[in-house]
């Protein structure tokens, strides 16, 4: 006979016959002869989470813009007289001072011209003296009719011509002195000089304005960059609406990021913003000035500038790891209330700054946001909050979107 049901014995078995007991043991399970006490269920403690306390503070609003380094002054040293270069006096790539001798052009022909002009001046002065003496002698004789009025007038005219000749000779001598001085090619400005563009023995020309060297003043130095007109208008509207405030000093501060990613150690100042917009690009040109004592900034170098233009008052930031962005692009955080109960709070994000999000709305100062243990925290459950390690609460700057 086929047994269709399996029999489980849960009580004490007594008084059964041997054959019946043998059949039951073969076809079923004997659960025991005694009742087992029910086990006691233990409750686990609430999970631990790290929280960040939201605070509000004033944040400097910055904009990162690309630009290039330009010298404050640049001078092309060119020949101003014709001649042969006798000597180069400077070291290429060195710093030179204004008035320092750079080249010596052969002065011999210009010295001769100078001496000739000096002789012409002496002759003109002698002729003037002779004419003046004759006119002085004729004056009393003309009064007593000892000489004619015509002779006296000729003598006076000769004096005037002599004076003109002296003036012309002085001008020629001055020109000769200037040309002789141009044989000494000096630095027009202080700065760093580049390579020598002519060598000893080279013939330089005044007509061709032979370029001999280039000097660039590099301390201080300029940083020229551009900003879109749209960004400038947006900044002005936000300041007029009270969303942003002007910097306390009233002067925009500028810092530089070098090509290797490091921060330039000297801060700069904004000199001016152009009054017109480039029609082809829609950009406004700005210029900042930086000290450059170590000559780290070189003309033509491409760098990034961070300019502080305004202050965002009462701004709030939270660590980026605390923010969850859903499939619908809605950002949210987990809050821990005064009863240590987790709640979901939607937020509106602003700019990302140094591993933190600027929160435009959804939070207030004093809120506790979960930053670690998010996988253990669920809305409505109780948690054990404790402050996180290494969360900085100092003032940071906010980079505006481009």
Q: Does pLDDT of 318 surpass 70? A: yes
Claim to verify: residue 276 and residue 307 sit in the same structural domain: yes
- Looking at the structure of the chain, the number of domains it has is 5
Residue-wise pLDDT for 30-54, tens only, equals 344 444 444 444 567 777 777 888 8
Residue-wise pLDDT for 355-372, tens only, equals 777 777 778 788 888 888
Query: Exposed, middle or buried by CB within 10 Å (0-12, 13-18, 19+), for 8?
Result: exposed
Give the max Cα distance, the chain. Answer: 190
Claim to verify: residue 359 and residue 251 sit in the same structural domain: no
Band of pLDDT at residue 118, cut at 50, 70 and 90: very high
Q: Where would I find the beta strands (DSSP E) of 187-267?
A: 191-193, 203-204, 211-228, 253-257
Give the domain range for residue 351: 49-56+314-399
Note every long-range contact of 163-172, with CB atoms under 8 Å and residues 24 or more positions apart, other chains counting: 163/128, 165/124, 165/127, 165/128, 166/121, 166/124, 166/125, 166/128, 168/124, 169/117, 169/120, 169/121, 169/123, 169/124, 169/125, 170/121, 172/117, 172/120, 172/121
Residue-wise pLDDT for 175-189, tens only, equals 999 999 999 999 999
Q: Which of 216, 234, 263 is the last residue of a domain?
A: 216
Q: Does pLDDT of 276 surpass 80? A: no
Q: Which tops the pLDDT comparison, 319 or 41?
A: 319
Cβ proximity of 256 and 305 under 8 Å: yes
Q: Does pLDDT of 375 surpass 50? A: yes
So what's the pLDDT on residue 79? Answer: 95
Specify if 272 maps to a domain. yes
Instruction: Return the DSSP state at 341.
Output: B
Q: How far apart are CA 107 and CA 84, in angstroms?
A: 9
Q: Which tops the pLDDT comparison, 275 or 277?
A: 277
Claim to verify: residue 208 and residue 82 sit in the same structural domain: yes
Specify if 38 maps to a domain. no
Claim to verify: residue 290 and residue 234 sit in the same structural domain: yes
């Amino acid at each position: 006979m086929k047994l269709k049901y399996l029999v489980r014995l849960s009580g004490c078995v007594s008084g059964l016959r041997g054959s019946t007991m043998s059949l039951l043991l073969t076809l079923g399970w004997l659960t025991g002869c005694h009742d087992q006490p029910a086990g006691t269920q233990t409750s686990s403690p609430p999970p631990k989470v790290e929280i960040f306390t939201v605070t509000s503070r004033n944040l400097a609003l910055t904009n990162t813009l690309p630009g290039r380094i330009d010298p404050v002054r640049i001078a092309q040293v060119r020949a101003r007289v014709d001649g042969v270069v006798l000597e180069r006096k400077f070291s290429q790539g060195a710093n030179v001072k204004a008035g320092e001798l750079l080249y010596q052009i052969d002065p011999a022909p210009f010295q001769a011209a100078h001496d000739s002009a000096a002789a012409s001046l002496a002759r003109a002065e002698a002729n003037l003296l002779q004419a003046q003496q004759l006119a002085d002698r004729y004056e009393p004789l003309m009064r007593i009719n000892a000489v004619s009025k015509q002779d006296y007038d000729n003598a006076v005219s000769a004096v005037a011509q002599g004076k003109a000749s002296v003036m012309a000779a002085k001008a020629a001598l001055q020109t000769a002195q200037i040309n002789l001085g141009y044989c000494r090619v000096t630095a027009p400005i202080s700065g760093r000089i580049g390579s020598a563009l002519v060598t000893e023995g080279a013939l330089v020309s005044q007509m061709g304005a032979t370029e001999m060297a280039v000097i660039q003043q590099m301390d201080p130095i300029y940083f020229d960059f551009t900003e879109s007109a749209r960004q400038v208008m947006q900044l002005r509207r936000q300041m007029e609406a009270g969303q942003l405030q002007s910097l306390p000093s009233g002067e925009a501060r500028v810092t530089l990021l070098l090509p290797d990613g490091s921060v330039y150690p000297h801060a700069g100042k904004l000199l001016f913003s152009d009054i017109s917009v480039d029609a082809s690009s829609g950009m406004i040109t700005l210029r900042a000035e930086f000290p450059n004592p170590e000559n780290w900034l070189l003309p033509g170098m491409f760098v990034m500038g961070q300019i502080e233009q305004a202050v965002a008052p009462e701004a709030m930031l939270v660590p980026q790891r605390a923010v969850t962005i859903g499939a619908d692009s809605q950002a949210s955080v987990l809050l821990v209330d005064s009863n240590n109960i987790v709640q979901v709070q939607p937020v509106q994000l602003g700019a990302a700054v140094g591993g933190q999000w600027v929160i435009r709305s959804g939070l207030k100062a004093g809120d506790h946001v979960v930053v670690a243990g998010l996988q253990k925290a669920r809305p409505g459950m109780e948690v054990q909050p404790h402050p996180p390690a290494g969360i900085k609460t100092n003032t940071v700057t906010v980079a505006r979107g481009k």
